Amino acid sequence: MGNYVTSCTFAGKTLVIATVPSLDTLVCHAETKRFNEQAEGLANTQVLVVSTGLPFGQKRWCGAESVEDVVTLSAHRSSEFGKSYGVLISGGPFDQCLARAIFVVNDSGVLTHVEYVKEVAEHPDYDAALAASLAIVHDPISVGAGGFSDFFRCSRSFSRRTIC
């Protein structure tokens, strides 16, 4: 049935969460590859790339692209993650896919950075996401009483090092 990822899965780590429509599009491909390159140098930080793609497709893509330092997660079984984070696309060619956005959650589970990319074909501000993941944020963004969402589905079981 697969492994479900919750807020406890990465407890104590800073998270860079990138939501993308599909790993098989040019911008999503480039974005995930870039975060994979940057992830290696980030101490106590895990980069998650979330799409509505199927877990076996994500696993295939990661293997073909040698992506090993980010975790790909699938939200294909439920639209709750997309709705909760405001990234579920409704209508058009990307209907029920996730919009491109970046969320940084500090090691205490507090959302500290958000970027909703205006056009799905545009890249996010990589430097801002990286800076937010490295910074000590004194004014975190409030996400309400519910805190960090538990609506991820993992594309691969976890081992000594969480990889794609």
Exposure pattern of 45-63 as b/e (b: 16+ CB <10 Å)? bbbbbbbbbebebbbebbe
Residues in Cβ contact with 82 at an 8 Å cutoff, skipping those fewer than 6 apart: 19, 52, 75, 88, 89, 96, 98
Q: For residue 73, what are the β-bridge partners?
A: 50, 154
In the chain, DSSP assigns E strands to 3-5, 14-19, 45-51, 70-74, 101-105, 111-116, 152-154
CB 35 within 8 A of CB 18: yes
Write out the catalytic residue numbers: 28
